[in-house]
Amino acid sequence: MAIRKIVKYGDPVLRRRCQPVKSIDREVRKLIGDMFETMYDAPGVGLAANQVGVSLALAVIDIQAEGRQSPIVLINPRITELSGQLKEEEGCLSIPGFLAPIKRFASAKVSALNEKGLPVVITGEGLLARALQHETDHLNGKLYVDHLSFVKRVRMFSLIKRSARSERWNA
Ligand code: NI
């Protein structure tokens, strides 16, 4: 396994809809391992394949509830149910140094394949629900800042652009 470079805001790969995974071959298994390592190293609670520059519909999540690892692999995920509402600070490894309160559904159900190619259904509340929505958004070329109001989004984008010229952003 290896830590991969996380693609930052401004890279067009983050805005492209990811292609479905057709077969879970060696390369995809290696990608999954690398994505977990990259996510734990960051550290973060979720990472989408396009965040490491690979335009495939694949994401990893681990909210580490009670400090324990509970890795989730989502291949070709599809949200099947959403309910409730929740507004909490959200951030993204591709937009380092920023957080913003984002309205999300409080509960989410996602159908996907796991790393063995078996169908799984993941149901999440709270932080896990948020991570499920955030990562499936990534795979559709969407970022959490897109959920902000127009005025807030414009302000944030100008701050992000300024930050993107700094060294830390490109590290
Ligand atoms: Ni993100």
- Would you mind telling me the total number of residues written for the chain in this entry? 171
Q: Does residue 79 belong to any structural domain of this protein?
A: yes
What confidence tens digit (pLDDT) does each residue in 100-128 have?
A: 999 999 999 999 999 999 999 999 999 99
Ligand 1 centroid from CA 72, angstroms: 15
CATH number at residue 40: 3.90.45.10
Ligand 1 centroid from CA 135, angstroms: 6
First to last CA, the chain: 20
Ligand 1 centroid from CA 93, angstroms: 5
Q: Does residue 4 belong to any structural domain of this protein?
A: no
Show the domain range for 47.
Answer: 12-164
Predicted pLDDT at 127: 96
Q: Does residue 159 belong to any structural domain of this protein?
A: yes
Q: Does residue 1 belong to any structural domain of this protein?
A: no
Task: Read off the pTM.
Answer: 0.95
Long-range (24+ apart) CB contacts under 8 A made by 120-124 are 121/80, 122/72, 122/74
Predicted pLDDT at 6: 97
Domain count, the chain: 1
Predicted pLDDT at 19: 98
Structure tokens belonging to residue 61: 């999540």
Chain mean position to CA 63: 12
Which whole-number Å values give the CA distances from 73 to 84, 86, 116, in the listed order?
24, 24, 10
Instruction: Give the CA count within 13 Å in the CB-facing half-sphere of 39.
Output: 27
Structure tokens belonging to residue 103: 């309205």
Structure tokens belonging to residue 115: 């790393």
Q: Does residue 7 belong to any structural domain of this protein?
A: no
Q: Does residue 63 belong to any structural domain of this protein?
A: yes
Ligand 1 centroid from CA 137, angstroms: 9
Q: Does residue 111 belong to any structural domain of this protein?
A: yes
Predicted pLDDT at 171: 65
Q: Does residue 54 belong to any structural domain of this protein?
A: yes
* Residues labelled catalytic: 135
Predicted pLDDT at 130: 98
* 93 CB-near residues (< 8 Å, 6+ apart): 6, 39, 42, 44, 47, 51
| 3-class DSSP state of 110 | strand
pLDDT mean for each 10 residues of the chain (171 residues): 94 97 97 98 97 98 93 98 97 95 97 97 97 98 96 91 79 65
Structure tokens belonging to residue 129: 């629900």
